Structure 1
Amino acid sequence: MVVQMSRTAEALLFGAGSSGEEWTVGDRKMGLKVLAKAEWATYFSHLHEAVQGKEIKIEVVGATVGDQILVKSTPLLGATYEPKQEMLELSVKGMTHVIERPRRITVQDEQGKVVAIEVIDFAERHQILTFA
């Protein structure tokens, strides 16, 4: 099976080798950071403020599902990580997307602003959240 994915998904999937990695594209500074599990609840409770005014796209990439776009373009209404349930909930207009038992979360930023987040879940599916 051939999996087609966005360029942002490729950058996150194949470029996130080490935490704190930075590079420059033209005059823009780009960076990747793997979040420690202890940071997840606080990070997601403030994510809505950090991406206010941007549209979110949610893609799921996995061996059994291929590359599927769940949400093309809508504002993020809220995000919550519940440590006891090991569940990340993303609320957008008309739906809530739940990611069960995240294992790794990587954030890609540009000039200090969040442009994408990759969440790898218990089934090794890559949930790619991009903001534009």
Structure 2
Amino acid sequence: MRSRKLERSEWKPYSDRVSKALVGKRAEVEVVSLDLGRQVQAEWSPIYGLTFDPKDNLFEIALEGLDHLIRAPQEVHVLEGPEGLESVEIVDADGRRQIVRLKEPLALPPPEKA
């Protein structure tokens, strides 16, 4: 696994590129800060994409049933493994860490015919 900090100039192209690879994955979104503690915003929901809008200085994490917005991001860290992106951590202007963990959905075998 490899963790790295993305430069601001990488945020949009990186998010555009990985959004295509997120189709079919599940995500957990957790917000961590001293004032809030740890709060899970979404628990292994289908993820539709991760985008950065430089004009509005806004990250959007689109999940089934949740549109998680991160205003005024300050830092972005990604953890990549042999199978691709494993997690993204975005630190906002208030120092809150928004952690998006990714996993493949559980693949069950087809039901047996009776």
TM category (shorter chain) comes to 0.7 to 0.9
Task: Report the Cα distance in structure 1 between the residues aligned to 2:22 and 2:58, rounded to whole angstroms.
Answer: 21
Task: Report the Cα distance in structure 2 between the residues aligned to 1:127 and 1:95, rounded to whole angstroms.
Answer: 14
Number of equivalenced pairs: 103
Structure 2 equivalent of residue 19 of structure 1: none
Task: Report the Cα distance in structure 2 between the residues aligned to 1:52 and 1:72, rounded to whole angstroms.
Answer: 17
Q: How large is the Cα RMSD of the aligned pairs?
A: 1.1
* Structure 1 unpaired stretches of 5+: 1-29
Task: Report the Cα distance in structure 2 between the residues aligned to 1:33 and 1:50, rounded to whole angstroms.
Answer: 19
- Corresponding residue to 1:48 among 6, 15, 19: 19
Task: Report the Cα distance in structure 2 between the residues aligned to 1:84 and 1:51, rounded to whole angstroms.
Answer: 24
Could you tell me the TM-score, scaled by structure 1's length?
A: 0.74
Structure 1 equivalent of residue 45 of structure 2: 74
Could you tell me the TM-score, scaled by structure 2's length?
A: 0.85
TM-superposed CA distance for 1:112, in Å, is 5.3
Considering fraction of residues, name the structure with more helix: 1
TM-superposed CA distance for 1:51, in Å, is 2.5
TM-superposed CA distance for 1:70, in Å, is 0.2
1:64 and 2:35 correspond:
yes
Structure 2 equivalent of residue 96 of structure 1: 67
Task: Report the Cα distance in structure 2 between the residues aligned to 1:47 and 1:102, rounded to whole angstroms.
Answer: 18
1:119 and 2:93 correspond:
no
After the TM superposition, which parts of structure 1 deviate over 6 Å for at least 4 consecutive aligned residues? none
TM-superposed CA distance for 1:53, in Å, is 2.3
Structure 2 equivalent of residue 35 of structure 1: 6
